[in-house]
């Protein structure tokens, strides 16, 4: 008896951090996934064979244990009575900013559901993965696990009475480059820094939030019209806002500027910031290759992938 499940990696195109405070965000699944396999064992064990940014898995080990406990509790599974071995693999690099933790939570929940014949719906998987995400992020927005579960390009708004998420339809998929700073980011710390800024500089935070809300509606319109030049301009603006929040880093800014110098339509950090990954909008194949080469030449890891194809 075996169980297999997968979760999508993701990028946030607009409004990470602002999304925690009820401002809409836009996120997209990418063409890379984490796969979980569950098999019978005489004791519970989790074997993590995912490719990684060096040090990521070791640094997240305690958070992963906490997350696993939360998933098992949410699924009402007792590993002492029914021990299993969970093996994590796939082509999504375990790194900061691309939804690695959410993808693993979704993959694990789906694999356990199949193994124990629970027949859980996507909505139930999403709820379980949200509980798992608490182990990594404290108070997650819910956006990562939603994209990891359903795929696609998603408009997401956090609401106390229930999160809103809608698919955004694209005319066709488009290419992006993901540049990895190589720095493992602490998302909990980034979220805390933003919270402190909100309390300390309320007027500035409120202004940025209003600007971010105006921007994301314009970005949705540009995506639906498939005006990728405008999408790129808005990505640049969103990165500037995130810098003002204090969640960028010198490595992220370097990769953003390098991408723009090599012709990217737009570029910004993605995810919690303070390290992790950035994304560059590179719709044409030769442009994607050029930007990827420029980043690799500087010694950084890249992922050439698509949005709208999963």
Tens digit of each residue's pLDDT, the chain (310 residues): 789 999 999 999 999 999 989 999 999 999 899 999 999 999 999 999 999 988 899 989 999 999 999 999 999 999 999 999 999 999 999 987 889 999 999 999 999 999 999 999 999 999 999 999 999 988 788 889 999 999 999 999 988 888 898 999 999 999 999 999 988 877 778 888 888 989 999 999 999 999 999 999 999 999 999 999 999 999 999 999 999 999 999 999 999 999 999 999 999 999 889 998 999 999 999 999 999 999 999 999 999 999 987 7
**Distance between CA 158 and CA 31 in Å, rounded?**
25
Fold held by 2-167: Ribosomal Protein S5; domain 2 (3.30.230)
**Distance between CA 279 and CA 269 in Å, rounded?**
6
**Distance between CA 162 and CA 164 in Å, rounded?**
7
Q: CATH 3.30.230.10 in the chain: give the residue spans.
A: 2-167
The set of residues, in sequence order, having a beta carbon less than 8 Å from that of 160 and lying 6+ positions away, is none
- How buried is residue 286: exposed, middle or buried, by Cβ count under 10 Å (0-12/13-18/19+)? exposed
Query: What are 295-302's contacts with CB under 8 Å, separation 24+?
Result: 295/177, 295/179, 295/255, 295/258, 295/259, 298/254, 298/255, 298/258, 300/179, 300/180, 300/181, 300/182, 300/255, 301/53, 301/93, 301/179, 301/180, 301/182, 302/177, 302/178, 302/179, 302/180
| Catalytic, out of 42, 48, 123, 144 | 144
**Distance between CA 247 and CA 190 in Å, rounded?**
6
Give residue 304's pLDDT: 94
**Distance between CA 153 and CA 56 in Å, rounded?**
27
Give residue 130's pLDDT: 96
Domain 174-307: assigned CATH number: 3.30.70.890
Give residue 138's pLDDT: 81
Give residue 163's pLDDT: 86
Residue 144 annotated as catalytic: yes
Token output for 13 = 């195109």
Token output for 94 = 């375990």
How many beta carbons lie within 10 A of that of residue 119, not counting itself? 8
pTM tops 0.85 = yes
Q: CATH 3.30.70.890 in the chain: give the residue spans.
A: 174-307
């Amino acid at each position: 008896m075996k169980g297999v499940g997968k979760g999508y990696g993701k990028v946030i195109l607009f409004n990470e951090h602002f999304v925690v405070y009820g401002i809409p965000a836009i996120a997209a699944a990418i063409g890379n996934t984490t796969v979980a396999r569950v098999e019978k064992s005489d004791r519970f064990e989790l074997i993590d064979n995912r490719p990684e940014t060096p040090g990521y898995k070791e640094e997240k080990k305690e958070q992963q244990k906490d997350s696993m406990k939360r998933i098992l509790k949410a699924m009402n599974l007792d590993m002492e009575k029914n021990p299993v071995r969970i093996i994590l693999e796939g082509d999504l690099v375990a790194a900061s900013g691309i939804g690695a933790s959410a993808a693993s939570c979704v993959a694990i929940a789906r694999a356990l559901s199949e193994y124990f014949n629970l027949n859980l719906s996507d909505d139930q998987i999403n709820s379980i993965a949200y509980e798992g995400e608490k182990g990594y992020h404290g108070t997650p927005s819910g956006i990562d696990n939603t994209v990891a579960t359903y795929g696609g390009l998603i408009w997401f708004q956090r609401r106390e009475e229930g999160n809103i998420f809608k698919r955004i339809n694209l005319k066709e998929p488009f290419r992006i480059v993901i540049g990895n700073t190589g720095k493992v980011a602490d998302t909990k710390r980034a979220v805390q820094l933003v919270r402190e800024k909100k309390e300390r500089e309320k007027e500035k935070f409120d202004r940025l939030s209003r600007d971010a809300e105006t921007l994301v509606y314009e970005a949705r319109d540009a995506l639906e019209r498939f005006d990728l030049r405008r999408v790129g301009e808005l990505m640049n603006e969103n990165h500037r806002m995130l810098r003002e929040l204090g969640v960028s880093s010198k490595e992220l800014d370097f990769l953003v500027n390098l991408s723009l110098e090599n012709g990217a339509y737009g570029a910004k950090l993605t995810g919690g910031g303070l390290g992790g990954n950035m994304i560059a909008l590179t719709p044409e194949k030769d442009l994607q290759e050029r930007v990827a080469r420029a980043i690799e030449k500087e010694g950084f890891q890249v992922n050439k992938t698509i949005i709208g194809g999963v």
